[in-house]
Structures are given as C-alpha cells and as structure tokens.
C-alpha cells in the first residue's frame, strides 16, 4: 500500500471522524459534569468503574486494570485516585490475600455523587450523539454506537455489584 492508497485514505478519514465524534462527546459531557457536579469525565469514569466492583472472585480491580478501564496510564490513574480520595469519594485498603496489593473502593459519598451525576452524564451523552447524528460524516458512527445497545457490556467491563 502507498500513502495515496484509497484503503489508507478511507481508514484515515474514518479515524478522523471517530476522533471528532469522541472529542465532541467528551467535551459536551465534561461541561455538563463540571457545571452540575464538579466532576471531570475521567473522575466520573473512575467512580463508575470502581462502583461496579464486587466481593466475588476477581471482583476487585488492581490499579493496572483500573487504568485500562479508564484509559489512562497507571501513574495518571494513581494521581486521579489520590485526588478523589482527598475529596472523600474513594478509599484505599490492603488486599487481604496479598499485602502488596492495594484496592480502591468508592465511599458512600462517592456513590451518592455518582448516582447524582449519572443522569447528567447520560443526558449529555444523548445530546452529544443527537447533535452528531445530524452531521453526515458522523451519523454512521453514531448509528454504530447506538447499535451497541445498553444491554451489551463493553469488552473488559466490570460486572455490576
């Protein structure tokens, strides 16, 4: 393939459209969460991922798994956890079976904030997708997102408690 190959051009255009859609959605949700709940998209995502942990086998995530789930580096995830812990939204404790491991749980205050912010997140997502669906370049991607449906968990998603 060459740089002018139509297949590469199509891939590049597809990636540009996907990146544009992602950016628009993230910006719209960020504004709504910041205005209504003093939360960033990353903070909301972290609270959401951690709230889905459970006490069963494999129910608690190690920091690398958390980082993968919120699409951040381990060091950025650790800083984010520390910020939310300082706000009283998360707590950390030693793994009972491996004293080297540290787990993170959402506190009752964090769960309350997450429950309060979830409708804002969902509404902002729906609004951003609705706006994007009116753009002919983004409409097919919106349709693909919507086709995933709410009942299908994302690969690697943490089961709900």
Report pLDDT digits (tens) over 124-139. 999 999 999 999 999 9
Confidence band for 151, pLDDT divided at 50, 70 and 90: low
* Domain definitions of the chain by residue range: 6-148
Over residues 77-88, mean pLDDT = 96
Containing H/E element for 69? helix 63-70
Contact (CB, 8 A) for 80 and 46: yes
Give me the mean pLDDT over the 97-111 stretch. 87
φ, ψ dihedrals at 91, nearest 5°: -135, 155
**pTM score, two decimals?**
0.84
- Is the per-residue pLDDT at 113 higher than 50? yes
The secondary structure of residue 8, as a DSSP letter, is H
CA distances from 45 to 33, 81, 126, 140 (A): 11, 11, 16, 25
* Closest residue by Cα to residue 90 from 158, 39, 17: 39
Does the 6-148 domain belong in CATH 3.20.20.140?
Answer: no
- Tens digits of residue pLDDT in 7-28: 778 888 889 999 999 999 999 9
Phi/psi-derived region of residue 39, left when phi > 0, alpha when psi is between -120 and 50, beta in every other case: beta
Q: What gap in Å lies between CA 161 and CA 20, rounded to an integer?
A: 33
Band (pLDDT 50/70/90 cuts) for residue 159 is: very low
Ranges 31-35, 67-71, 152-156: which has the least confidence: 152-156
Output the CA–CA distances (angstroms, integers) from residue 36 to 33, 43, 46, 88, 126, in the order listed.
5, 14, 17, 18, 16
């Amino acid at each position: 393939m060459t740089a002018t190959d139509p297949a590469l051009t199509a891939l590049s255009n597809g990636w540009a459209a996907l990146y544009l859609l992602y950016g628009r959605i993230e910006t719209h949700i960020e504004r709504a969460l910041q205005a209504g709940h003093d939360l960033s998209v990353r903070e909301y995502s972290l609270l959401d991922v951690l709230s889905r942990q459970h006490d069963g086998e494999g129910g608690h995530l190690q920091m690398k798994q958390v980082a993968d789930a919120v699409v951040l580096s381990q060091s950025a995830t650790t800083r984010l956890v520390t910020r939310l812990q300082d706000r009283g939204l998360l707590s950390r404790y030693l793994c009972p079976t491996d004293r080297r491991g540290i787990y993170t749980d959402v506190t009752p205050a964090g769960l309350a904030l997450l429950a309060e912010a979830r409708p804002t997140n969902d509404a902002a997502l729906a609004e951003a997708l609705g706006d994007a669906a009116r753009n002919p370049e983004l409409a097919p991607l919106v349709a693909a997102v919507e086709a995933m449906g709410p009942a299908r968990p994302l690969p690697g998603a943490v089961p709900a408690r």
